[in-house]
Amino acid sequence: MSPEDNGLCPMAIRDIYLLQRSEQFNLGPRQEMTVDLSLKKAPKEPCTVLTGSVTGKCGHIEGATVKVLDRNNKPIAHTVTDLEGKFVFENTLPPGEYKVIATAEGYKVSRVYRLILESRKPVSISIWLEVSDCINLATVYGVVYNEANLGLANAKILITDYDKPEIYEAFTQTNTDGEFMVYGLKPKKYWISASKEGYFLPQKISFELTPNEIACVNLFIYPDGSSTDGTVSGIINSYGQSVPNAVAALYKVDDRGHFLLATKETNESGFYLFPNVKPGEYLVKSKMETDRIIE
């Protein structure tokens, strides 16, 4: 059977060479102009047809997207099903090996359908879609920003029930750009908060979700001043032996000299610890005095 007989490549006016154009030019009075053109041959039509239908538990699915990929998963073409859930790719796909997937709103992505297209050999497939597990559920996404309006990585996100905040609904953390996303949330009201070591959230935020809603909630957290404090600790010893009850003295150092800020006695193992020390230059001194009273 010839291509004209099976309808894949019906007889009609066709390009032999593609339309080409010259550069624009100006022709003066009585001037002779030569304009040469190089024509390119029109590509041959593939003479392939891929048809099919997309259905689900409720019957044919209108408006489903059908996508064709090559054997290396490179996207080639896509189309949308009609009122009866049907689709067609006619003379658009060269002969070869392909993968086909489909989806529609409220449905999962179909399994992969593998097929081989040949010239003048129509192929038809039936695609089945399963209902999405997330039907009527909602999604919330956003960014956690710092005081400089930059996304904050590795911030912890906590979503709780609005009426019962002790009930945790979701927990996630931000990516390197400060972004987060939580899907599969039931339509209702929630609290959301963000936390990270060294930062604080002025107050948690409430939001409400409706079925299938995609809501954006951005959060701003700020440096916690007390979190910049450090600690200074160590062991006081004498000739390799720890010295309990010795006094360690913490001095602040600046251009004017050394200023004593705090003292602390060592424990039985000779350890001392100064908490809540602000950033800066310091040094530690130590000594031990007799506890006998001289009369």
Counting beta carbons within 10 angstroms of the beta carbon of residue 194, is it exposed (0 to 12), middle (13 to 18) or buried (19 or more)? buried
Residues 6+ apart with CB under 8 A from 58: none
pLDDT at residue 9 in the model: 67
Whether residues 181 and 253 fall in one domain: no
Instruction: Answer yes or no: do 124 and 146 share one domain.
Output: no
Does residue 171 contact residue 157 with C-beta atoms inside 8 Å? yes
Which phi-psi region, left, alpha or beta, contains residue 199 (left: φ > 0; alpha: ψ -120 to 50)? beta
pLDDT reported for residue 4: 45
Give me the residues of the chain with pLDDT under 50, please.
Answer: 1-5, 294
Q: Is residue 40 part of a domain?
A: no
For residues 206 and 237, membership in a common domain is answered with: no
Structure tokens at 18: 């593609």
Residue ending a domain, choose from 225, 240, 271: 225
Task: Return the CATH number at 220.
Answer: 2.60.40.1120
CB of 84 closer than 8 Å to CB of 53:
yes
- Regarding whether 123 and 83 lie in a shared domain, the answer is yes
- Structurally, the chain folds into a number of domains equal to 3
Which residue range(s) make up the domain with 71?
45-132
Residues 177 and 104 in one domain: no
Residue 273 lies in a domain: yes
CA angle, residues 199, 205, 208, in degrees to nearest 5: 150
What is the C-alpha separation between 191 and 216, in angstroms, rounded? 14
Please report the pLDDT score of residue 2 as a whole number. Answer: 44
Residue 49 phi/psi, 5° resolution? -140, 125
In a domain, 1, yes or no: no
What pLDDT, in 10s, does the model give residues 29-72? 999 999 999 999 988 888 999 999 999 999 999 999 999 999 99
CATH number for 244? 2.60.40.10
Of 204, 225, 246, which marks where a domain is finished?
A: 225
